[in-house]
Structure 1
C-alpha cells in the first residue's frame, strides 16, 4: 500500500505544481495587460502645467475635473480621451459596465453643476 500512496502523492504534487504554474502565468499576463491599459493619474499632472492649450473655459473645466475623486477621473479619461466603452473600462477596473455608466454620469453631473454654479 505504501507504493500506491507514493504514486498518489507524486501525482498530486505534479498536479499542484501545474496549477500553481498556470495560475502564476495567468497572473503575469493579466498584470501585463492591466499595465498596458491602465490610466495613470500622473497624466493629469502634465495637463495642469500647460494651461495655454486650453481656452478660458477649459481652464475652469480642468480645475473642476481635478477636484473629482481619482476613480471618476480615470473613468472620464478612459471614456472620453481613450475612447473606451463602459464594458472595457469595467473589465479593467473589475466592475460592472452598469456601475461604470452610473459613476460616469454622476461625475458628469458633478462637473456640470460645479461649472454652472461657478462664481
Structure 2
C-alpha cells in the first residue's frame, strides 16, 4: 500500500531547440504524427506510441538545457504537496496547461527537470 499519489508511467520527453521549424520538419520526416503546435509555435508535441515527444523553443544562448521528462501521476496536487513536505522546491505551483494537462516542474540535484503531470478530464 502506498501513501499519497502513485507514479503511473512516462508520459513524454521534451527537447529544447533553437529552430522550431527545422526541428518540426525533422520529426515529421521521420513519421512522428504532429498533435499540437507546429513550425511557428513555441511548443510542439508529437505522438510516440502511447507517449509523446515534445519540443520547446530555447531562445537565449547555446542550448544548455537538455530537456524534461514528463511523469504521469495519479494526483498532481498530492505529488506537489509530497515534494514540499520532503523539502523539495518545485519551480511553480501546479497549473493547467492549454495542451490539456495539469502539471508542475521540479529539478533533481543534478539539474535534470522532471514534470509531474496528469491529463485533464
TM-score (norm 1): 0.29
Ranked by relative contact order (alpha carbons within 8 Å, sequence separation 6 or more), the top structure is: 2
- Larger relative strand fraction: 2
More helix per residue: 1
Q: What is the TM-score of this pair, normalised by structure 2?
A: 0.29
Which of the two has higher C-alpha Rg?
1
